[in-house]
Amino acid sequence: MDPETPNISRIYDYYLGGAFNLPADRERATVIKSVLPGMEMLARFNRGFLRRSVAFMVDQGITQFLDLGSGLPTAGNTHEVAQARDPHAKVVYVDYEPVAVALGEQILRGNPNAVMVEADARRPDELFGHPGVRGMLDLDRPLGVMMTGVMVFVGDHEDPVGLMKAYRDVCAPGSYIALSHLTDERADPETKVQVHAMVEAYKGVIEQLYVRDRAGVEALFDGMTLVEPGVTLMPEWNPRPGLDIPTGSPAHHLGYAAVGRVD
């Protein structure tokens, strides 16, 4: 774990006001925010959608979750929301990044119903064969799959629709998949330039970020039934009146979100 090298999981933790970040992470985050001033709020919109979608799934009877590309399990993440509603809810966090996994294991120590697994979400066959996944989740029962900010790392050349189908096919009927995705489709010209500058600023931390329009996000839910209100802007997916983040930020239009049901 090189403290001098910025890490995407710790950068995201910093955006969310977490404590698991280092000076190198905060320095890169400052650069990114300088080219996209709404970046911090975008991260908070994304986390707000995760919290609301997890709560929705628990209310539908989901008792086990698979959080893909999770980063650090901090700042009101899946296990905190699910287990606040159902103390017996089980959560498997998955990340391919060793720093996130190492820190995640420390954070979850002492929680018998939450584990951190090192695996690549782009390889579902290997992921579902991992003993950490098999030991915690019953794939014959409905599952809540969290893909918040994950498909942004999957290019069209990697067949994102096929990847989503692979997860859908493993899920038992009655499962749900929550997904959020970076977009610039509804941004003004200045903000579009900022989004692409942000993508460039992330290079050196990650390989590539991909931006998709609403049609591209809807295509990922092929074969599933979209929960109302369908594919919409992140802060507009079933907000809680008076409780969620105000929507006056330019970042309001920079992320799509949806939840699909596996029938």
Answer yes or no: is 225 within a domain. Answer: yes
DSSP-assigned beta bridge partners for residue 259: 178
Asked if residues 137 and 90 have their Cβ atoms less than 8 Å apart, the reply is: yes
Mean pLDDT of 114-134: 96
pTM of the full predicted structure? 0.94
Q: Is 31 helix (H, G, I), strand (E, B) or coil?
A: helix
Got the DSSP string for 84-140? HH-TT-EEEEEES-HHHHHHHHHHHTT-TTEEEEE--TT-HHHHHT-HHHHHH--TT
Q: Is 236 helix (H, G, I), strand (E, B) or coil?
A: helix
Answer yes or no: is 17 within a domain. Answer: yes
d(CA 263, CA 249): 36
CATH number of the domain at 74, please: 3.40.50.150
Answer yes or no: is 130 within a domain. Answer: yes
Which residue, among 58, 64, 67, has the nearest Cα to 147 in the 3D structure?
67
Domain count, the chain: 1
Answer yes or no: is 101 within a domain. Answer: yes
Mean pLDDT, the chain, whole residue set: 93
- In this predicted model, what pLDDT tens digit does every residue of 210-243 receive, in sequence order? 999 999 999 999 999 999 999 999 999 999 876 6
Q: In the numeric block, which tokens belong to residue 216? A: 């591209």
Answer yes or no: is 36 within a domain. Answer: yes
Where is mean pLDDT largest: 68-72, 211-215, 246-250?
A: 211-215
pLDDT for res 242: 67
Confidence of residue 99 (pLDDT cuts 50, 70, 90): confident
Q: 62: domain range? A: 8-261
Answer yes or no: is 222 within a domain. Answer: yes
DSSP 224: S
pLDDT for res 249: 79
d(CA 93, CA 145): 10
Where is mean pLDDT largest: 22-26, 36-40, 95-99, 136-140?
A: 136-140
Backbone angles phi, psi at 255, to 5 degrees: -150, 135
* Cis-peptide, bond into residue 229, ω within 30° of zero: yes
- In this predicted model, what pLDDT tens digit does every residue of 149-188 receive, in sequence order? 999 999 999 999 999 999 999 999 999 999 999 999 999 9
d(CA 247, CA 175): 30
